[in-house]
Structure 1
Amino acid sequence: MEKKKDNKIINTTTTGLSQNEIIQTYGEANSQYIQAYKGIRVDKYGDAKEYAGRSLKEISEYKINPDYKDANLKQQAGFSAEEIQVARKNQQNIIKGDETRVSTTDGLGDTNNTQYDHVTLDKNGNVIEGSGTQMKFLKVKVDPKTGEKSYNVIDKLANDKSWDRYDTDITIPKEDYEGAKAYAQKKYESNMELSKKAAEKGNTEAAAKYKRRAEDYKKAGERVKPSEVTQEEAMDARLNPETFTAKEVLKGAHEAGKVAAKSTFVVAGAISVGQNLYAVFSGEKDCVEATKDVMVTTGKAVATGYVTGAAGSTIKSLMHTSSSVIVRRLGTTTTPGMIVTGAIQIGESLTKYAKGDIDTTELFEELGEKGVGMMAAGYSGASGAMIGATIGSVVPGVGTAIGGVVGGFIGTMLGYNISGVIYKQAMNTIHSEKIAEERRRMIEKIAEEAIRENERYKKMFIEFSKNQLATRQRQIEHFLSEVNEGIFNNDMDRFISSINTMGAAFGYDLQFKNMEEFDEFMLDEDSVLEL
């Protein structure tokens, strides 16, 4: 029995760890919709970028003139469509491993650009020349008698001279693309037919006019491109931005779950086959029993893989768009997957206890040798130390000392989150299982302990933040004092040293350590100033 339990733990842990790349990729990709909702931009490292554009939330709060309600809503839905286009294209690029990103021109601070609504940026954030596009969500007219559709965007491109200013593709609603192309072709053919008839009658001027118009419609059809957005989605985002964003994140989570399930099938299958082949060779199982065990074990692992990928990517999306830079950086580690894996294991243990499969002692062994509180503390402490060291080594400008501080912060935050997970799983077990009274009381006790732990970590979290602010305040006061002394005593070395000390405190290593190094820099014609 002990061996079986160990195998299960190995499979669950392996499943969680093996999905980290999927969780990171899909979590960042799906966060694009939350970024669109909030009106923020965050890169893959969790660093916030400057953004001057609209947000889905902001657009949803635009005023409506009751006399022009439909027109106002359609215009505002067009603004929402621009933001969804960015989110969806960037989501796709991240999943494909494409480092280019799409941005609205407004988002780059180029407000009311008459040429482009969107541009593509290279991996360094520079606009790629010739990448600009214009988005047009115009009305499609339907003939009440024939039911035939005419596409305003095609007619405008072909006939409206004011549209000659656009030197780029025109993106139109996704569902209109095929119809618009067919309409342009139809108008091309009908005008070519008119040109032919005019030529047969000897009317060369009319023939030339119809031919030019035919060519204009042909070009119009070539210039339209399908957007990633439908008119229905754009209106939904305008009217219900929160619901729209949640649906898109959940859709992305489902895709992450499917990919993770496929990946888990390979990983868990290989582990299970290896374990069972050994069991067959050692005489512990026959071939039929081993084959059945491979199928059962792999099937369970695939289900776990789906949950880990879906839930982990959602947690990553939320962490990636947090207002706290530390939480965003934490989201780039294995923590999202660890939280989900921990939740699965906690839920499994509580369910087994509720069913009577394990006793109280075995329950606490599975949750942690010293009980729920120590389990949360140990989990958070070890994770905090590990993640703090990781951040200290990989984030530019953050040394070991700062990494340790960050580790403490993360440990506290993880304790807060994990105690919340334990409480939720305990409540889920109580509501979903038929439980003997004695066991019910024990699970309720676990839930109560989890609440107390949650409050304790919350207080630690707040205290930690206050201490950090106080420390920074003292550093700034000391810095200003030292700078003043350097200026008033004409001590430039002291002045530069003070600035360097302050820079180090905030994670920056400045270029000049003293006046001598500055003089050398000024005399060296080949030196480059590092900003």
Structure 2
Amino acid sequence: MHKKKSEDLKSLAGAHLSDHLTSRHTERTRALFNDSEELVKLAEKWKNVAPDKAQGHLFEQMEVLNFNYDALKKDSDLFARTTASMGLPTDPVDIIITRGKKTVREVQAKSCNSAARSVFALSQEKYDEMARLAPADQHEMIEKLLDQRIKAGTLKASDYEKTREHLQKSLSHENVSSTGTNYEQSLAATDAKIAETISDQVKLKSALTDMHKSGQQAGQLGAIISGSTSVITSSYDFYKGTKSIGETLSSITIDAAKGYATGYTVTAMSKGITHGTSHFLGQSASKALTRSNAPIAIAAGVVAASKSIASFIKGDIDEEKLLDEISHTAITSTASFYYGALGQVAIPIPVVGAMVGASIGYFVGHMLHQSSLIALGESQIVKEAKLRRLAIEEMCLSLIPQIRNQRIAFEAQLKKHFNERETEFHIAFMQLDSSLEDWSPNGFVSGLEKINLQFGKTLQFKTFEEFDDFMQTNEAFEF
């Protein structure tokens, strides 16, 4: 259990850190969800307008949607928005591309039912240095028409030259591009059902991209954490002579690979939970869930439970051990979620508060499980008590008349004993919660001491000062 506890703690800490490091992917994906929903709103808003007129609004939004998805894939900080979505429907600029708060590109977009009309609509003097964007399937014809009119020297030749200079086949800037939208695609999107289908497809692609890219970064972090820990422990084993150089290198490699796999899976799953909640319950519910660190706790718990199930299937553990490990995972995950949220409130520093709270919650959950105060199903202690009871009953069958009175008295004392312990536990846990709210280390240690006393044990340190003094000595720490 000690090794498993260490792995679970590393997984939990790595998940919190990875979630913070990949938050930009998640925020950009949330923005893409908003872009997708805007497409559906536009289709609904313009449903009573002739499709060939309404499609221009859908064209702009589809270009923005595809541009922002490409930016997500390439981890670019560029972001596009239509001015209409910003409450500026009459602005000469149709689309702006920003980097942070700075606008780096202004775009005029026109989607007409013919290349000639698109050329005329785009070639207005007021559009000046803006990029010009038209349906991708009209691009070649628009280029030919512009070249012809410029060569012919028409009155609008200078406007055509500006259009030709700034013409784009797709919404693009630097290495990010929308890949282009055809007239028929924007026309089809005026149907609300088709717009909703496109929206769902983009949401799914965006969520999967975030899960993969965030998972990759988390996997790399997990490999570094697990690999570094393994280097220390394996090198020490090599120094003692319990491992050969080959075994040492193999152990480090395997631990790093496990760290990558666990980091990738936990983070990818937590992102999936976040975006799934956003799709089905809305952005507000998703953000509230993310702030509470629930997706991380759930994902870490699922991964830990999956490892236990895999071990059971391979025959490494029996059914009783499987139930015990799943029980441990469920309790520690719940405690980590609760104390992680509390820690973030108590220590309003990004990542730090959540990690400290989650770690404390893990130890509290571990303690609850080990004490059998809380468990899923019957704990080992309860099972052993049942066996002892059966043995005692068999021994007493021949002495039933004499045992009956003794048993009644014994049960009364037993009930009183456990009632008293329950009260002590309740007081101790109230003290633990109170100490976390007041950020009182000595109060927390005092609460743990009360719990230990119920099992006939005592803590090595009674105050934080004693622990601090010990840490300044050369004595070895004993678990």
TM range (shorter): 0.5 to 0.7
* CA contact 2:293–2:337 (8 Å) conserved in 1: no
SS in 2 for 1:133: strand
Q: 1:324 to 1:164 in 2, by over 3 A?
A: closer
The whole-number CA distance in structure 2 between the counterparts of 1:386 and 1:257 is 21
Is 1:219 aligned with 2:162? yes
Q: Report what 1:337 is aligned to.
A: 296
* CA contact 2:59–2:111 (8 Å) conserved in 1: yes
Amino acid at match of 1:56: L
SS in 2 for 1:134: strand
Q: Report what 1:328 is aligned to.
A: 287
Q: Report what 1:172 is aligned to.
A: 133
Q: Report what 1:278 is aligned to.
A: 236
Q: Report what 1:347 is aligned to.
A: 306
Q: Report what 2:181 is aligned to.
A: 231
Amino acid at match of 1:77: L
The whole-number CA distance in structure 2 between the counterparts of 1:219 and 1:343 is 58
Alpha-carbon shift at residue 282 of structure 1 (Å): 2.1
Q: Among residues 85, 107, 113, which one is paired with 1:133 in the alignment?
A: 107
Q: Report what 1:309 is aligned to.
A: 267
The whole-number CA distance in structure 2 between the counterparts of 1:132 and 1:389 is 44
Q: 1:164 to 1:213 in 2, by over 3 A?
A: closer
Amino acid at match of 2:202: F
Matched-pair identity in %: 17
Q: 1:318 to 1:394 in 2, by over 3 A?
A: farther
Structure-1-length-normalised TM-score: 0.51
SS in 1 for 2:316: coil
Is 1:81 aligned with 2:62? yes
| Unpaired stretches in structure 2, ≥5 consecutive residues | 172-176, 350-356, 366-479
Q: Deviations over 1:249-295 (max 9, x none)?
A: 22332222233333433333333333322221222211111222222
Q: Among residues 251, 256, 271, which one is paired with 1:293 in the alignment?
A: 251
The whole-number CA distance in structure 2 between the counterparts of 1:60 and 1:191 is 35
Q: Report what 1:360 is aligned to.
A: 319
Q: 1:326 to 1:72 in 2, by over 3 A?
A: closer
Q: 1:238 to 1:270 in 2, by over 3 A?
A: same
Q: Report what 1:468 is aligned to.
A: none
Is 1:252 aligned with 2:230? no
SS in 1 for 2:92: coil
SS in 2 for 1:265: helix
Q: Report what 1:36 is aligned to.
A: 35
SS in 2 for 1:19: helix
Q: 1:357 to 1:117 in 2, by over 3 A?
A: same
SS in 1 for 2:85: helix
Q: Among residues 246, 250, 262, which one is paired with 2:220 in the alignment?
A: 262
Q: Deviations over 1:67-98 (max 9, x none)?
A: x66x36744631542652685488589x55x5
Q: Report what 1:16 is aligned to.
A: 15
SS in 1 for 2:108: strand
SS in 2 for 1:106: coil
The whole-number CA distance in structure 2 between the counterparts of 1:30 and 1:175 is 25
The whole-number CA distance in structure 1 between the counterparts of 2:114 and 2:95 is 23
SS in 2 for 1:107: coil
* CA contact 1:139–1:152 (8 Å) conserved in 2: yes
Q: Deviations over 1:87-126 (max 9, x none)?
A: 5488589x55x5x86543233333x314122346786x7x
Amino acid at match of 1:391: V
The whole-number CA distance in structure 2 between the counterparts of 1:290 and 1:333 is 40
Q: 1:166 to 1:85 in 2, by over 3 A?
A: farther
Q: Among residues 94, 118, 138, which one is paired with 2:95 in the alignment?
A: 118
* CA contact 1:17–1:338 (8 Å) conserved in 2: no
* CA contact 1:353–1:363 (8 Å) conserved in 2: yes
The whole-number CA distance in structure 1 between the counterparts of 2:48 and 2:289 is 45
The whole-number CA distance in structure 1 between the counterparts of 2:262 and 2:114 is 47
Alpha-carbon shift at residue 390 of structure 1 (Å): 1.9
Calculate the aligned-residue CA RMSD, in Å.
4.5
Amino acid at match of 1:118: I
Q: Report what 2:337 is aligned to.
A: 383
Q: 1:292 to 1:6 in 2, by over 3 A?
A: farther
SS in 2 for 1:231: coil
Alpha-carbon shift at residue 31 of structure 1 (Å): 1.4
| Unpaired stretches in structure 1, ≥5 consecutive residues | 39-54, 142-150, 196-208, 396-406, 416-531
* CA contact 2:110–2:121 (8 Å) conserved in 1: no
Amino acid at match of 2:83: T
Structure-2-length-normalised TM-score: 0.56
Q: 1:37 to 1:219 in 2, by over 3 A?
A: closer
Q: Deviations over 1:413-468 (max 9, x none)?
A: xx9xxxxxxxxxxxxxxxxxxxxxxxxxxxxxxxxxxxxxxxxxxxxxxxxxxxxx
The whole-number CA distance in structure 1 between the counterparts of 2:104 and 2:246 is 63
Q: Report what 2:41 is aligned to.
A: 58
